[in-house]
Structure 1
Amino acid sequence: AAQPAKPAAEPAKPAAPAPQPAKPAAQAPKPAAQPAAPAKPASGEAKRILIGSTQSSSSQYPYWVAVGKVINDNVPTVQATVVETGATVENINRGQRGEFDVMLITTDAALQAYKGLDRWKDKPFTELRWLWLQRRTAVAIVVREDSGVKKLEDLNGKDFNPGIRGSATEKEVKDALEALGIKPKWYTAGGPDAVQAIKDKRIVGYGKTMAGVDAIDASILEIMVTTPIRVLGFTEDQGKKVQQAHPYYPFVSIPAGVFKDAEWNKQPVFTLGLAIGGGATTRLPEDMAYAIVKALDQDQMPSGKKVQATAQKAIEADFGKATAEGGVISEPPLHAGAIKWYKERGLKIPDALVPPEVKR
């Protein structure tokens, strides 16, 4: 049987006091001897946890480093280390193997894993739980302006990277284009490799989650320094066809003028959407999840230090309200510790977000 992966040649060691992101070995992670077992610290000793994030080239990465800092600065019972990964799908798979305590997840991939759909059909991840909703965003299908690709159908037969290897973006873009019968030549790569391949004209473009619906991702900005780009939109009919095949994929519009001076963005661009946040499993103790969510939520409040908002501006101003009452999250449900904090805030928790381990 395949052995579980680990972030680097040796186990990641937490930094003190701020998290030093632990990077995996170049390319695919190597097998670990065994999954990380939940630590049981002695009295007064902080529990070491690993946080699965994304690639360092992503606009998401600084945010997750900030998450680690907030936890380490405000939760004395926890010592967090942020691990660079291939993002959502890899995080969920490694979380299921017990390697991550907290992880970046997206609404679509989390729902599929929890319900045992698609790649998780043989092994549903019923222990997966939401902690907080970080933000809602758009997925941009970016191509070189000089590639001749003007609409999605033009991607047929072209070399194209659907997203960071192992990410929810990669899966969502592939699923959407396949539902429309569009068949590019898939170029599988990590973020930096894909960006360089676009610059070198080896591929026509890639799929990339934006920093927000109206905020451009750092890697897209990097390409734009030397290369004019275009973001391809879906028609309404194409959006309906994708959702018939994959009802868990939302659609959003990138507002007009986000890409300044771009003729193609004088009108909104209708495209795939994502909601991103923090997840955990039922293995994370309730008191620990409570303390983590409380610290992160309070950091965003008017009296908070805004460590997360400084790292990434395009995040929810009120995590708790967006998570508990925003109507964005459906399944999996919230972690018991998160529910405890949100209830303390006086927020109403929908029945669908209450897990079986919590008394209603």
Structure 2
Amino acid sequence: MKRREILVALGATTLVAALAGPGLAQERLAMGATFSSSSYYTYQVGIANYLNSTVEGLDLSVQELGGGEVSTQALLRGEIDMGIATTSSDYAAVNGEAPFEGTSDTLRTLYFFAPTPINFVVDAASNVQSLSDLKGVKFNPGGRGTSTERQVDMILAVLGIEPALERAEGSDALDAFQNRRIDGFVKLGLHPDGYIQQAAASRDIRILSMTPEEQQKVSEAYGFLAPATMNPGAFYGSEGEIATVQTAIGINTTADLDEKIAYNIAKAIFSEAGKTAEVEVYAPGESIDTAQLTLDVAVAPLHPGVIRYLEEAGYTVPEKLKP
């Protein structure tokens, strides 16, 4: 009798599974996220909800882990299926640089959504008109101990420029500029930027533009810093196009992610509906061509599913971004 009950139960389970069909099968995936205090965490939660409602069979959860390096380490250990990424952390993983041990040949790019241009800001009343004019100038290279500070140190070194560096926390550097103890600073981000606006409220400012040669020299030395142009507009009392270099923030994965799932994620993200969903949780996304940004800044190869979608949509994928 007990054997019969077990067989009936197994048969019922099989029948339910068969009736459910493949369309209802759920692919449960985990996305590593940055700190919950970050606006990018809000973006990840919002986009995960959008993808779950758009991509059939996807059940994507968000796990708070930390920055791009921590998330990518967890990804390469197989603890998550995709995660927050920066071009600098991808570059380190692909090339086996600290904190990663050994090169990664399985890391793949899904997409990038947030460019982070490097803004070199100086007092407009100074004689500093270019990066090379920063020699000997009291200048803050970014918040003490931040990735911004490390990146600016690398940029200045490769260009052979030696300001009189004043290292300080971000708020202390802003105070020093407002009170004329330094003549310039660096701030990453799109415009308008609240930090730069506070600086401009106390002193007229100038955002320095890199020469094409400087852009090329930096990007050749550090593959995660891509040439970029931006127009800050009239937010700080001046207009005009500025040339610089930028990093970017996005979502990475590995070669283990199913090709169809990666394709459907790319299709959803790069669509008009995807743009609307992005802007709802990340307002600067309105002015960003996510697909083109991905092609411009990606360091790790694109996932084959992403490549298939982009090529079908008419984009040309560089050979260097193909696995």
Indicate whether 1:66 and 2:36 are aligned: no
Q: Report the CA distance shift for 1:121/1:71 in structure 2 as closer, same or farther (over 3 A).
A: closer
Q: Could you tell me the TM-score, scaled by structure 2's length?
A: 0.67
CA distance in 1 between counterparts of 2:293 and 2:174 reads: 38
1:85 paired to 2:66: yes
| Mapped contact 1:55–1:84 kept (Cα < 8 A) | no
Q: 1:130: how far off?
A: 0.9
2:140 equivalent to 1:140 = no
Q: Paired residue for 1:175?
A: 154
Change (3 A) 1:208 1:124: farther
2: CA distance, partners of 1:119 / 1:158: 30
Secondary structure in structure 2 of the residue aligned to 1:295: helix
- CA change 1:223–1:115 in 2 (3 A) is same
Tell me how many residue pairs correspond in the alignment: 292
Distance 1:341 1:137, change over 3 A: same
Q: Which residue in 2 is equivalent to 1:36?
A: none
- Whether the 8 Å contact between 1:141 and 1:208 is mirrored in structure 2 is yes
Match of 1:273 among 237, 240, 246: 246
Q: What is the aligned counterpart of 1:217 among 152, 171, 193? A: 193
Relative to its length, the structure with more helix (as a share) is 2
- Give the secondary-structure state (helix, strand or coil) at the position aligned to 1:200: helix
Question: Residue 66 and residue 248 in structure 1: after superposition, are their counterparts in 2 closer, same or farther (change >3 A)?
Answer: same
Q: How many Å separate the matches in 2 of 1:104 and 1:148?
A: 40
Cα deviations by residue, 1:13-65 (Å, 9 ceiling, x for unpaired): xxxxxxxxxxxxxxxxxxxxxxxxxxxxxx9566251333478466x555444
Residue of structure 1 equivalent to 2:303: 335
Correspondence 1:198 to 2:173 = yes
Instruction: Find the counterpart in structure 2 of residue 125 from structure 1.
Output: 104
Give the aligned CA root-mean-square deviation in angstroms. 4.3
Q: Secondary structure at the match of 1:270?
A: strand
Judged with a 3 Å threshold, the aligned counterparts in structure 2 of structure 1 residues 98 and 273 are, in CA distance, closer, same or farther, namely: same
Gap change, CA 1:77 and 1:240, over 3 Å in 2: closer
Stretches of structure 1 that go unaligned for 5 or more consecutive residues are 1-42, 356-360
CA distance in 1, matches of 2:49, 2:30: 13
* TM-aligned CA distance change 1:224 to 1:57, over 3 Å: farther
Assess, with a 3 A threshold, how the Cα gap between structure 1 residues 57 and 134 changes in structure 2: closer, same or farther: closer
Q: Deviations over 1:226-246 (max 9, x none)?
A: 675543433455445535644
Shift of 1:137: 5.2
